[in-house]
Structure 1
Amino acid sequence: MNVSFLKRFKGLILKYLGKGFRFIIIAGGGKVCRVYQRAAAKVVELPDEDMDWLGIHATRLNAHLLRTIFRKEAYPVILDDPHKPIKNNWKVLIAAGWRPGWSTDYISVLLAKRFKTSEIIDAGNIPFVYNKDLQKYKNAYPIKKISWKNYRKLIGSRWIPGLAAPIDPIAAKLAQKLNLRALIVKGTEINNFDKILAGKKFKGTIIEP
């Protein structure tokens, strides 16, 4: 557990809450998800739906950690359904996985639609969209700007649990339909995150209509 990152992340969010910002933070499954999925797969052959449910519950555990860290600032109920009714007096909303068939990227897009925002930030474990899977191809190169049409050609159209794509195919399809803009950055690079929120030039990929 990267406690130092969590402290710095909280500090960044508090800084911008003080400037009048509001945040919707969607927790991914991360390492917890992968550990459980790999362990289960070594014991029994798992259908995709069960793999997804393990991932969903991992996101809910991570979301509860975030809600605990932002106990004073966060809405008291985690959004485990993007359509769940909530009061409008929130400063920080914490959301998690909902149903099988997609990743929490799709939840981000659904919440962007619900709350009428035109941009999402995907803060994962890679700093850019690459032309190939960075874990498999050492000659993969970063792409700084790409359209949804070309991005979707890169990643394909099928969702597979654990798919190595910054934004999953189901989310990308809806994001393109909604004309959203997505920023892909490495989540642990807090100074870079700060630049985005300050409206400055940042390191990452822009996916746009």
Structure 2
Amino acid sequence: MTTKVLSVGGSIIAPDAPDTEFLSAFAKMICTWLEENKDARLIFVAGGGGPARTYQNAYKDVAAKFGDTEKKAAAFENEADLNYACDWLGIMATRLNAQILKTVFGPLCKQDVVTDPTAVSDFTGRILVAAGWKPGFSTDNDAVLLAERFNADTVVNLSNIAKVYTDDPRKNPDAKPIDEISWADFRKIVGDEWVPGKNCPFDPIASKKSQELGLTVICAAGKDIPNIRAILDGKNYTGTTIR
């Protein structure tokens, strides 16, 4: 049985609220693909998206309003505590997004949403859906751990960008799209540190683990359904390949 892992960005599932047009089109394509590829199964790992950032920003706003008063809560005392709290808020958002993915696919996904990628021991349906695990990294890292657990050699990272760029194109007009890049060069772009809510093509912690495992990661536009299908079929696609 061939296993493919898709890290589905929360900005695709729920940019602000659940995107029902995307969920419908994505589900139809996936169901058709699974019907045509009976020896394959898929793992989806849901990101937090708009809801995660909404709650994280709300928490930061509340923390700032305490200022340096004596009533300042212990959780606000330093940046590490604040990041830890923000991580948990993001994790909870991923779990809600994962639950709607599981619900959409009905009987194809027989198991509960996975919240610890190191603890899942079996895969009984055609689809397995996972969410955030614990603070310290994003769901990209959970996708990598599940790829390792179920012997997948590629993770498809679906987000709101079609390709990785040499720099942020919104800030640098000279930034160039990348078709293929090594892990060593990619990690120079994203760095080595994870910060909750960080907007980068692939989590730095997940990137390090992927390089160690020799995984291939494909970064592609999550709303381009025909392109996702081309990736699943092993055909020509638009995206950035990291290996």
Alignment TM-score, normalising by the size of structure 2: 0.82
Distance 1:92 1:124, change over 3 A: same
Identity %, equivalent residues: 41
Q: Of 22, 33, 55, which residue of structure 1 is paired with 2:41?
A: 22
What's the counterpart of residue 6 of structure 2? none
Q: Could you tell me which residue of structure 1 aligns to residue 73 of structure 2?
A: none
Q: Is the 8 A contact 1:145 1:207 kept in 2?
A: yes
Tell me whether 1:177 sits opposite 2:177 in the alignment: no
What root-mean-square deviation, in Å, do the aligned CA atoms of Structure 1 and Structure 2 show?
Answer: 1.3
Displacement after TM superposition at 1:86 (Å): 4.2
Equivalent pairs, count: 208
Q: Which runs of 4+ in 1 moved over 3 A?
A: 85-88
> Is this contact kept in 1: 2:47–2:132, CA < 8 A?
yes
On the 8 A contact 1:75/1:94 being kept in 2, the answer is no
> 162, 175, 181: which one pairs with 2:197?
162
Mapped pair 1:32 → 2:51: yes
How does 1:79-94 map onto structure 2 within 5 Å? 79-94=114-129
User: Counterpart of 2:149?
Assistant: 114
1:71 paired with 2:106, answer yes
**Post-superposition shift, 1:84?**
2.4
Q: 1:13 aligns with which of 19, 24, 30?
A: 30
Q: Unaligned stretches of 5+ in structure 2?
A: 1-17, 65-75, 77-81
Aligned in 2, Cα 1:55/1:134: closer, same or farther, shift over 3 Å?
farther
Larger Rg: 2
Q: Does 1:202 align with 2:219?
A: no
Pick closer, same or farther for the CA change 1:138–1:43 going to 2, 3 Å. farther
**CA-to-aligned-CA distance 1:104-161 (integer Å, 9 cap, x gap):** 0000110011011110100011111111123433432211100000000111111111
**Contact 1:133 / 1:164 at 8 angstroms: preserved in 2?**
no
- The answer for the alignment partner of 1:44 in structure 2 is 63
TM-score by length of 1: 0.95
Provide structure 1 residue ranges, at least 5 long, that are not aligned to the other structure: none
Indicate which of 67, 88, 92 corresponds to 1:53: 88
